Structure 1
C-alpha cells in the first residue's frame, strides 16, 4: 500500500475574505484549521500569515509566532512556512518568517511569472474590506518575482538552517531552473517538487500537462532522484490530485488552492478537503503518510530542530 504525503495549504495569499467565510484569517483561526487538517490526515501544513484585522497578507514574524507554537504543540505535522508570501511583497519580507523560525520545510518558487486572479473580482458582489477589490483586480499587473538571484539567496539562507524545500514549479521552465541549481550543488537529491497547475500565468489546467511536467522532471532529474506532488487551482484541484496519486505522486489540498469542495459548493474548512482526498486515496489503495513517514520520505531535520 503506497504512502502518499498530503499537504494542506491552509490560507495562502490569493483568496480574500470576501470570497469565503471559511477562509482562516486570525492566528487563532489559522491554528484551529491547521490542527483540524492534520487530524484529518495532512502530514504537512503549508502556512501563510494574515493581518488579523482585515485579512490582508503579511510576512510579519510576530503574526506567525502567534500560531506556529500552538500548531506544533497540538500536532506532530510538518510545518512548512512560505517564502512566496504574496506577489505584492519584496523578497526580503517574504523570507523573514522562514529565516527566523527555521522550519523543517519551506516553499520556494522556482521562477518568475505573471500571477493573475483578477477575473475572480467579477464574482464578488460585496467586499468586506477596502483593500480587497484593488488587490484582486490589480493582479492583471502583478509579476511574481523569483529571479535567479532571489532563488539563490533563499536557498543559501535556508540551507544554512537545515531547512528543505517544497520547490513550487508553475511551468516547464521552472523545472529547468531547478535543474540549474541542482547542477550548482545548491539543491541535493531527494528534493521535493510541487507541480502547480491552473494559475493564470503558469501552465494551464489541462490534465495532459501533468504528463508533460512529470516526463520533463524525470528526464532532467531521474525518476528516483526526487519526490513530487501536485496542486491545482480551483476546479482543477481534485481531478489533478486523483491523477497524480494514480501516477505515484503526493498531493496538496487546502483553501489556498481552492475554496470549493465540489462544483458550486464552498468548502466548510480545510479539513473537509483533506477528508475528501483521504477517501479518494483509499479507493485507489493508497494510505496517507504519517508526519513521521513524511519526514523520512523527504529527509527532514525533525521538529526538535526548528526555532519555534
Structure 2
C-alpha cells in the first residue's frame, strides 16, 4: 500500500508583512477562505495565526481567532492547529490564549529560545503599505524568541493535559530535538510525537539538505519509532525540502506563512496553489495524501468533536 503523507498548510503566520504580498490573508474572512481552500486542495492540517484585520499586524487576540475558527470547522474536516509561537513582541502568556480558548486538536510548540532574524527583509522594500512594517522587521535584530523550559512545561500542562491538545513540536535546530527528548524522558510528552523540522530561519539551522539529513538521523536516534516528522523549508527552500522529506519517509508543510512564491518571481495567489503543487509532487512519487481522518489516527488526536469552537 502507498504510504500516507500529511500535508500541513500554514496559512498566514507572523513573519511576512502585507507589503510583501497582495495575496497574504489578513482579515478573518480572508484567513477562513484561504484555509478552506487549502483543505479542499488536500491539506489535512491547517496551522493558523491571526492578524489585526485593520492593518495586518500579528494578533494573539482570541476574539479574532474566533471570527474564523468556527467557519473553518463548519466548512472542512481538516485538523485545526493553532500556533502558540505568536509573533513579536508577544509574551508567552499572550501566545497561548487563543489555543486555551479554542482547545484545538493540535497546537504548535516551539522547542527552544533563539534569535529570530527578520530584519534583512526590510532592505528589499522602499515603500510600505503600513507604517508598522519596517519597524517590526528591524526590531527582530534585537529580538529573542523565548521558549524556556518553564514556558514549555506550562504549555504542556495547561494546553496538553488541560485541553487534550496534541502538539506540532517545532525544532529549529538540533538542540531542540534534545530538548524534546528531555521532555519525553520525563514523561511530559507521549508518542506519537509530531516533529516539525524548521530549516532556513535566520537564527536556526540552515536550509541545506545535509542539515535535514542530520536532523532526521538525530531524531531517529532519540525517538526511534515513537515519532513522525514533517519539514518546513523557509522561502525558496519550501518545495525542495518538502520533496526531500517525502522521499525520506516524512510529511510536508507548505503555505504563505513560510513562502510567498510558487515559482521564482511568481507569487502564490493563495495557499491552495502551494498545496496543489506539493500534492502533485507527492503523487508523482507514488505517495498518497492523508485524509483528515487518517491524520487523526496517525497522530493520535482527540477528534474534532472535542474542540471548543
Deviation per CA, 1:48-99: give whole Å up to 9, x if none. 0000000000100000000000000000000000000013100000000001
Q: CA deviation at 1:206?
A: 0.9
In the other structure, the counterpart of 1:73 is 74
Q: CA deviation at 1:158?
A: 1.2
Q: Alignment length, in residue pairs?
A: 307
Separation of aligned partners in 2, 1:264 and 1:181:
42
Separation of aligned partners in 2, 1:59 and 1:44:
20
In the other structure, the counterpart of 2:110 is 109
Range with greater deviation from structure 2 (194-203 or 115-124): 115-124
In the other structure, the counterpart of 2:296 is 295
User: Which runs of structure 2 are paired with 1:164-179 in the superposition (5 Å)?
Assistant: 164-179=166-181
Q: Indicate if the aligned counterparts of 1:87 and 1:143 stay in contact, CA closer than 8 A.
A: no
Q: If the length of structure 1 is used for normalisation, what is the TM-score?
A: 0.99
User: Which runs of structure 2 are paired with 1:30-179 in the superposition (5 Å)?
Assistant: 30-159=31-160, 160-179=162-181
In the other structure, the counterpart of 1:212 is 214
Any stretches of 5+ residues in structure 2 without a counterpart?
A: none
RMSD: 0.6
In the other structure, the counterpart of 2:223 is 221
Separation of aligned partners in 2, 1:61 and 1:149:
23
Any stretches of 5+ residues in structure 1 without a counterpart?
A: none
Secondary structure class of the residue paired with 1:122: helix
Q: CA deviation at 1:29?
A: 0.1
Secondary structure class of the residue paired with 1:211: helix
4+ runs deviating over 2 angstroms: none
Q: CA deviation at 1:189?
A: 1.5
